[in-house]
C-alpha cells in the first residue's frame, strides 16, 4: 500500500474520517470553535501521534477524578473572562490539575505559571507564600494572561487566533510575535521548538479523548480510559516521532491557500429523539454490544431516515460509573440519558430491563 494511502487509512481507523472525492470529513475536530485543518496530511499525522501519547495521560483514574472536580470551576472562570471552554483542558497538559506541580524551569501550580509572570500579575511568590498554589488566584491570573496574549498578539503582530494565543502561553508572546513575522499566522504550519510545536496538539488530543472517548475506544480497540487496558503491542518511541520538515511546510502553505475558503458545516439545530436500550445484562465488559431501539423516527443530515422501531447493535465502553456508546453516526448523533448526561449508568444497564434514553441529533444547514 503506498505511503500516502496508508496514512489516510490509518487516519480513518483512528479518527472516524470518511474520505470521498471531496475529502468530506464527518468527524470534525475543532479547537476554540475553529476547525483544525485535518485536510492537511501533516496535521493529521501529527495529531494522531499526539493522541496515541496522550492516551497514557488520560487513562489515569486519579487524573479524571481531579479533572471532573475542577472542570465546573474552571468553566466559570473562562466564561467570566470571555475565553473559550476548550481551554479547560490546558491544565491537564500543564499539570494534571495538581496544585503543587512544579517544573524544572520553576513554573508552578495547576496553570504552571512562572515566578516572574506571577509577580507581574500581583501574586505573592516568596519563601513563605506561593500564591500559584492557590486555585482561585492562579486561575484568575492564567485567564488574564491568556486574554492578554490574545489582545497583545493582535496589537503587536496585527493578527491573532486561539492556537497562536495558546502557543504564546507556552513560549512567551515575544517569541510568537517573532515567529509570526517570519512564518505567518498559521500555528499548524509553523516551525517552532518541539515543545511549543506540540503544545496545542496536546490540548486538542486531550479534548478529543475526554469528549469523544467512544469513537477512539472503538478505533483503538481498547478503552483509553482504563489504566488496565492498552495496545497489545507497545509502540516504540521512534514510531511516534514528529518532525517539522522545512520542505513539508511549503507544501502545507500551498494546500492551506488552496483550501482556505472551505468551511466546516454550520449547525442548524439540535433535536432530541426518544429511544431505549434493552438492558438487564448479566455482565458487561468494555466493547460489548447492546441493542438500541428507536421510539421515534430519526432523520439525520448525513444518513437519512431511520424509522421508529428500528433496532441496531452498538459497542459500549465503561468510563468510571457510566457506559458510553459509539452509534455509528460520528459526532452527529450522541446517546444521552433522560437528564441529558452522556451515556448511561452501568448499574442501570445491569439492573434495568429497559433504559429510556435520548439521541441528540445535530442537523446541519444545507
The catalytic site residues sit at 94
- CB neighbours (10 Å) of residue 203? 26
Decide the pairing of beta strands 311-319 and 322-326: antiparallel
Task: Measure the CA–CA gap between 63 and 183, rounded to whole angstroms.
Answer: 36
- Say which residues have a Cβ less than 8 Å from residue 88's Cβ, sequence separation at least 6: 71, 74, 75, 78
CA 185 to chain centre: 22
Cell representation of residue 82: 470571555
Q: What is the 8-class DSSP label of residue 260?
A: T
- Answer yes or no: are the C-beta atoms of 281 and 316 closer than 8 Å: no
How many contiguous H segments (helices) and E segments (strands) does the chain have? 12, 11
Task: Measure the CA–CA gap between 24 and 264, rounded to whole angstroms.
Answer: 10
Q: Give the residue carrying C-alpha cell 421510539.
A: 295
β-bridge mates for residue 274, sequence order:
358
β-bridge mates for residue 300, sequence order:
304
Task: Measure the CA–CA gap between 162 and 35, rounded to whole angstroms.
Answer: 11
Task: Measure the CA–CA gap between 338 and 359, rounded to whole angstroms.
Answer: 10
Amino acid at each position: 500500500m503506498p505511503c500516502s494511502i496508508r496514512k489516510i487509512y490509518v487516519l480513518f481507523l483512528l479518527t472516524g474520517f470518511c474520505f470521498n472525492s471531496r475529502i468530506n470529513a464527518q468527524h470534525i475536530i475543532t479547537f476554540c470553535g475553529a476547525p483544525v485543518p485535518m485536510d492537511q496530511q501533516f496535521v493529521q499525522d501529527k495529531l494522531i501521534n499526539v493522541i496515541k501519547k496522550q492516551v497514557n495521560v488520560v487513562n489515569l483514574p486519579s487524573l479524571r477524578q481531579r479533572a471532573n472536580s475542577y472542570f465546573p470551576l474552571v468553566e466559570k472562570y473562562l466564561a467570566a473572562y470571555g475565553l473559550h471552554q476548550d481551554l479547560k483542558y490546558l491544565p491537564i497538559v500543564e499539570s494534571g490539575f495538581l496544585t503543587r506541580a512544579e517544573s524544572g524551569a520553576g513554573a508552578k501550580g495547576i496553570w504552571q505559571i512562572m515566578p516572574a509572570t506571577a509577580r507581574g500579575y500581583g501574586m505573592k511568590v516568596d519563601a513563605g507564600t506561593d500564591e500559584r498554589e492557590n486555585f482561585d488566584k492562579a486561575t484568575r491570573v492564567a485567564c488574564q494572561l491568556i486574554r492578554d496574549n490574545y489582545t497583545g498578539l493582535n496589537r503587536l503582530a496585527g493578527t491573532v487566533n486561539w492556537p497562536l494565543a495558546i502557543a504564546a502561553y507556552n513560549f512567551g508572546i515575544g517569541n510568537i510575535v517573532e515567529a509570526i513575522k517570519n512564518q505567518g499566522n498559521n500555528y499548524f504550519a509553523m516551525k517552532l521548538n518541539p515543545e511549543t510545536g506540540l503544545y496545542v496538539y496536546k490540548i486538542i488530543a486531550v479534548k478529543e479523548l475526554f469528549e469523544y472517548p467512544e469513537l477512539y475506544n472503538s478505533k483503538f480497540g481498547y478503552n483509553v480510559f482504563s489504566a488496565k487496558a492498552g495496545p497489545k503491542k507497545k509502540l516504540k518511541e521512534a514510531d511516534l516521532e514528529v518532525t517539522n520538515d522545512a520542505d513539508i511546510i511549503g507544501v502545507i502553505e500551498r494546500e492551506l491557500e488552496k483550501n482556505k475558503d472551505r468551511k466546516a458545516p454550520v449547525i442548524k439545530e439540535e433535536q432530541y429523539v426518544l429511544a431505549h436500550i434493552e438492558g438487564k445484562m448479566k455482565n458487561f465488559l468494555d466493547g460489548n454490544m447492546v441493542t438500541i431501539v428507536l421510539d421515534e423516527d430519526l432523520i439525520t443530515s448525513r444518513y437519512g431516515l431511520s424509522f421508529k422501531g428500528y433496532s441496531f447493535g452498538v459497542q459500549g465502553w465503561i468510563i468510571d460509573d457510566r457506559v458510553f456508546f459509539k452509534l455509528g453516526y460520528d459526532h452527529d448523533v450522541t446517546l444521552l440519558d433522560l437528564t441529558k448526561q452522556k451515556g448511561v449508568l452501568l448499574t442501570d444497564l445491569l439492573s434495568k430491563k429497559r433504559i429510556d434514553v435520548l439521541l441528540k441529533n445535530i442537523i446541519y444547514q444545507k
